[in-house]
Amino acid sequence: MPVVGVGVGVSQNGSDLPPAERSLVHRAARRPVTAALVLATLVALLASVVAAAPAEADGPAPKPIVAGWLPYWMTTPGSPAGITSAVQNADLMTEVSPFWYSATAKSGGGVQVKVNPSFSNGQANIAWAMGQLRAAGLKVVPAIADGSGKGRMASTLANPGLRSQHVADLVSLVTSNGFDGIDLDYEVFAFSDGSSSWAATQPNWTAFVTELANALHAQGKMLTVTIPPPCSTGSVCGPRSGYWVYNIAGIAPAADRIRIMAYDYHVNGIGPIAPMPWVRSIVQYSVSVMDAAKLQIGVPTYGRAWTRKSGSSYRLTGTCPAPGTSAYRSLTAMASVTDANIPSTLAAAGVDPATVQWSDSDQESWVYYDKKVAWTDGSGARQTCTAKRVMWWVGPQAVLARAQLVGEFGLAGIAQWTIGGEDPAQWPLVRAYAQSLAPASTDVAVVGTPTAVFGTPVPVTATVTSGGAPLAGVPVTLQFRRQGTKKWVDVQPGTTAADGTVAFQVAPPATGAWQVFVPGADARTEGASAPFTTQVLSAVTATPLQAKVARGGAIAVKVRVQPALARQKVALQIQRPGGTWKNVKDGVVNAKGRVRLVGKAPAAKGRYTYRVVAVGKGDFLANASATFAVKVTKK
């Protein structure tokens, strides 16, 4: 990922001579911004650049569609902009990639994985940042840059042994730190090695990505791969166009995410950072050769400013320094500005918000302004020189326009460079759009039975709706979770009727919780009813061996308890006058749940009522058999 200001990436030379030669910059259709955009820009210009407030969106939870990179210098306790932004917008994030690591050349050949050498106190800062990100429930997939130098990574991947060692090192980095995966950002192939090396590098790169993905997946981890565009600046796309060394079609089956850096169209030349027709061409081609659901389109959150020219000369007025001096360079050099700083930068330059323009075709903002620099000449006198500047940037409205490609093409999301350097005004726009992509809820209401006797079927009925309307013909599953366990087990499938209802008959196997689960489909979420608990009673049967017995004689009863729980206690009971019960004989069942109880008959003749009670055990509650009568006679 090119650091803002370095100027790595696709560029196109050009000049900007208003008004006649405006069409030179890709024939952008420019007009004054609408009243709404003027107001939005005015608010942005006047507002302080502060961290976004925690998300408090009305309506449905947004679909997570944002990923991106956190520069290491924005991930420390003293400079936490990247962490703050990610945490406060965690509801929109699929994963985040702090730029913490580099692959550097190793003595004797190959590469080694290190914390970015520029990241002072790196390990401590990483530990702090991980605590913040994990507390917000974010997936952390750190980015690793190729810092090994020209040709070193290519030669490493060409050597199977060194390639395997690099795979092992990356897997160890992920697993030992508890990361969710790794993001490869190996740009040296594109911007240093030269295109003459690509034919040799491409198969080795493809093999490396496949091997690394397999190794990470074996550990339950993910691999994202960041690549430059597979399209030229003329929007010619194909297997031998753009930065074809990265073989998007070849690596996509293995990678979990492909992030395409769809920006830096203009760096040295003046013009839009990521003109929308070009971005759209990148997306259209990419989804034709890979699964769209794996693609994250890169979105810049910065702008660039250039000094305009007349012919080959910079447009400078006043008394100006000589070319080659630092003062001259400050007037003429291209400058990169984060979206977060653009409002204050333009305000400091005295820009009237009404002069900010919007390119309908490029879907970016731009503005002309003057940059004045005071300098001291050779005699010590103070002089002033003014440069005619132009700035292009991808601000909140432009970020939204690119995010809308997610829904149009079914993409995994956008990937921002950077998270932490964006204009906070983008988040309400992106969140509202992500809410529009959120699938409709699936609501499940269920009616169950609070108690049941073991082995006896009981009814469970459910009603499935979405947005208040019944869902007909939807597959559902009745699930059970035994008391004391955490896993839901599928018990019985079903299908909803025209009114969204479904009915089950089930014999509960033990005391536990039940729910009805409905899988998601299309633009609808999965859903499950609130669990309800059914207490299961032991099933007890008692069979007297005689209907008549003599006074004081033996009353023998065969008892069976289900389920069979060895050593479960049972008791033969007689009903007293007034309805209370008294134990006559205690016992325990055998492994088959059976026992023979023999009690003593009353001394007085008459007709007596008996039952057998099983004491509760394990997941089963106490229960009694049906009552039975025994006649006591004189003999």
Q: Which residue has the tokens 């205690």?
A: 586
Max Cα distance, the chain (Å): 141
CA distance 437 to 431: 10
3-class SS of residue 201: helix
3-class SS of residue 277: helix
Low-confidence ranges of the chain (pLDDT < 70): 1-58
3-class SS of residue 430: helix
Helix axis angle for 198-218 and 160-177, nearest 10°, is 40
The amino acid at residue 168 is A
- Predicted confidence at residue 27, as pLDDT, reads 25
Locate CATH 3.20.20.80 in the chain.
Answer: 22-437
| Residue spans of beta strands (DSSP E) within 150-301 | 181-185, 222-227, 257-260, 295-300
CATH code for the part of the protein at 443-534: 2.60.40.10
Spatial CA neighbour of 12 closest among 253, 183, 234, 162: 234
CA dihedral 99, 100, 105, 106 (to 10 degrees): -160
Spatial CA neighbour of 261 closest among 131, 97, 408: 97
Per-residue buried b or exposed e for 552-587, using 16+ beta carbons within 10 Å of the residue's own CB: eeebbbebbbbbebeebbbbbbbeeeeeebeebbeb
- Pairing assessment for the beta strands 581-588 and 569-575 based on DSSP bridges: antiparallel
Spatial CA neighbour of 228 closest among 1, 67, 68: 1
Locate CATH 2.60.40.10 in the chain.
Answer: 443-534, 538-633
Spatial CA neighbour of 269 closest among 298, 233, 317: 233
- Predicted confidence at residue 53, as pLDDT, reads 42
- Pairing assessment for the beta strands 539-544 and 554-562 based on DSSP bridges: antiparallel
Cis amide leading into 62 (omega within 30): no
CA distance 257 to 223: 7
CA distance 11 to 271: 10
Q: Are 356 and 33 in contact (CB under 8 A)?
A: yes
How many other C-beta atoms lie within 10 A of the C-beta of residue 118? 11
Token pair of 226 as six digits: 């960041």
- Predicted confidence at residue 439, as pLDDT, reads 86
Q: Which residue has the tokens 């091997």?
A: 211
| Close Cβ partners of 121 (under 8 Å, ≥ 6 residues apart) | 76
Determine phi and psi for 144, rounding to 5 degrees.
Answer: -125, 125
- Which CATH superfamily does the domain covering 538-633 fall into? Immunoglobulins (2.60.40.10)
Tens of pLDDT, residue by residue over 79-124, are 999 999 999 999 999 999 999 999 999 998 999 999 999 999 999 9
Tens of pLDDT, residue by residue over 573-613, are 999 999 999 999 999 999 999 999 999 999 999 999 999 99
Cα–Cα distances in angstroms (integers) from residue 197 to residues 150, 185, 536, in the given order: 11, 18, 72
Token pair of 412 as six digits: 């995994």
Q: How far apart are the first and last CA of the chain?
A: 102
Token pair of 537 as six digits: 């009673």
CA dihedral 201, 203, 204, 208 (to 10 degrees): 130
Cα–Cα distances in angstroms (integers) from residue 182 to residues 225, 294, 295, 328, 504, in the given order: 8, 15, 16, 43, 46
22-437, which class in CATH? alpha beta
Token pair of 144 as six digits: 């690793």
- Predicted confidence at residue 521, as pLDDT, reads 86
- Predicted confidence at residue 1, as pLDDT, reads 55
User: Which pTM was predicted?
Assistant: 0.73
* Helix %, strand %, coil % of the chain (to 5): 25, 35, 40
- Predicted confidence at residue 60, as pLDDT, reads 82
